[in-house]
């Protein structure tokens, strides 16, 4: 069981927390009924994403055995057998889609689309330059849509735009880290890296960095946002976004980190503190306390 859970990458489940965004920004964070709906959705997406990781490990078994760090994964190292992994995968998928069936057609459709996207990514899209990172970004958008559908609230174009751009930023930063870290062995780890170069990735990172900050800043001062929360105080959270972006760029370029955004978020104390402070400030403003 330990190796099954490890193969599902529980540390990566932090990405699924984006499903809570509609709950927070619709000012329903303290609704216990809606919170339970979102928690259930979060659990399902963790099972689905965990299942995808198992599928990827099964598909990339031989390649992972040649990777300097991935060779230690349960399947690649032989600590978890293929038969047990496949059996566990079938159980998780059965539980996931059985639960989504009872949570409404909209949520079921989005969850199925998310799972299909990940399968398509593993088979084809991860080998297509630029499209590989855009596919990852689409996965984050589907999570946000799932959260909105679960609690039946409209999703704003601003939230979708900020989610997409932030995911692109993290995705291109990850590609850059892989390219620099693996050097001559980069292509054997991920074939699409042959189409990238540090300079090319830096150009795209620069574009999405500026776009992310500007989109968030415009969201905070838009007439729709001000009307929704009754003030323009959300603008004052922009400095948290700026620091978070700058700190991440510092880690990518100066510390050669960024290969795993979740690990960076969990291990870099200044970045983690910044995210927590941003979230607390947003909640206080949205609830009219600040």
- Calculate mean pLDDT across residues 136-153: 94
Residues with Cβ within 8 Å of residue 260, at least 6 apart in sequence: 11, 174
Q: What is the pLDDT of residue 266?
A: 85
Q: What is the pTM of this model?
A: 0.89
Query: 34-43, 85-94, 148-157, 185-194: which has the minimum mean pLDDT?
Result: 185-194
CA dist 284 and 195 (Å) reads: 45
Residue 128 has pLDDT above 80, yes or no: yes
Give residue-wise pLDDT tens across range 165-194.
999 999 999 999 888 876 666 555 678 888
Q: What is the pLDDT of residue 268?
A: 92
Do 241 and 201 meet the contact criterion of CB atoms below 8 Å apart?
Answer: no
Q: pLDDT-derived band of residue 148, with 50, 70 and 90 as boundaries? A: very high
CA dist 251 and 260 (Å) reads: 11
- Give the count of alpha carbons within 13 A of 50, CB side only: 27
From the options 3.30.460.10, 1.10.357.140, 1.10.4000.10, 3.40.1410.10, give the CATH code of 1-155.
1.10.357.140
What are the tokens at 82?
């293929």
Query: 16-20, 64-68, 111-115, 173-177: which has the minimum mean pLDDT?
Result: 64-68
- Calculate mean pLDDT across residues 34-59: 92
- Calculate mean pLDDT across residues 149-165: 91
Q: pLDDT-derived band of residue 137, with 50, 70 and 90 as boundaries? A: very high
Q: What is the pLDDT of residue 131?
A: 96
Q: Which of 21, 45, 22 is nearest to 110 (CA)?
A: 45
Query: 52-66, 83-97, 228-242: which has the minimum mean pLDDT?
Result: 52-66
Q: pLDDT-derived band of residue 43, with 50, 70 and 90 as boundaries? A: very high
Q: What is the pLDDT of residue 216?
A: 94
Cα distances from 52 to residues 71, 92, 215, 287, in angstroms, run: 18, 10, 31, 37
Please, is 105 exposed, middle or buried when counting C-beta atoms within 10 Å of its C-beta (0-12, 13-18, 19+)?
exposed
CA dist 176 and 161 (Å) reads: 23
What average pLDDT does the structure give for the chain? 90
Q: Which helix (H) or strand (E) holds 187?
A: helix 186-189
What are the tokens at 239?
């400095």
- Calculate mean pLDDT across residues 55-63: 82
């Amino acid at each position: 069981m330990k190796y099954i859970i490890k193969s599902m990458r529980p540390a990566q489940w932090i990405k699924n927390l984006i499903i809570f965004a509609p709950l927070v920004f619709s000012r329903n964070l303290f609704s216990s009924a809606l919170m339970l709906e979102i928690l259930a959705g979060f659990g399902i997406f963790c099972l689905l994403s965990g299942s995808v990781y198992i599928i990827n490990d099964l598909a990339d078994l031989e390649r992972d055995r040649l990777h300097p760090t991935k060779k230690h994964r349960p399947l690649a190292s032989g600590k978890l057998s293929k038969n047990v992994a496949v059996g566990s995968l079938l159980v998780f998928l059965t539980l996931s889609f059985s639960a989504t069936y009872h949570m409404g057609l909209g949520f079921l459709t989005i969850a199925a689309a998310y799972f299909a996207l990940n399968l398509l990514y593993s088979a084809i899209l991860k080998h297509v330059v630029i499209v590989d990172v855009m596919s990852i970004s689409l996965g984050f958008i589907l999570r946000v849509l799932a959260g909105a559908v679960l609690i039946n609230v409209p999703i704003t174009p601003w939230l979708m735009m900020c989610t997409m751009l932030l995911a692109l930023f993290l995705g291109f930063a990850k590609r850059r880290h892989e390219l620099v870290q693996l050097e001559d062995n980069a292509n054997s780890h991920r074939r699409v890296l042959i189409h990238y170069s540090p300079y090319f990735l830096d150009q795209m990172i620069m574009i999405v960095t500026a776009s992310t900050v500007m989109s968030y800043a415009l969201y905070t001062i838009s007439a729709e946002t001000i009307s929704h929360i009754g003030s323009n105080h959300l603008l004052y959270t922009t400095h948290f976004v700026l620091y978070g972006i700058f700190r991440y760029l510092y880690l990518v370029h100066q510390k050669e980190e960024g290969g795993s955004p979740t690990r960076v978020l969990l291990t870099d104390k200044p970045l983690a503190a910044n995210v927590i402070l941003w979230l607390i400030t947003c909640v206080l403003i949205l609830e009219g306390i600040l």
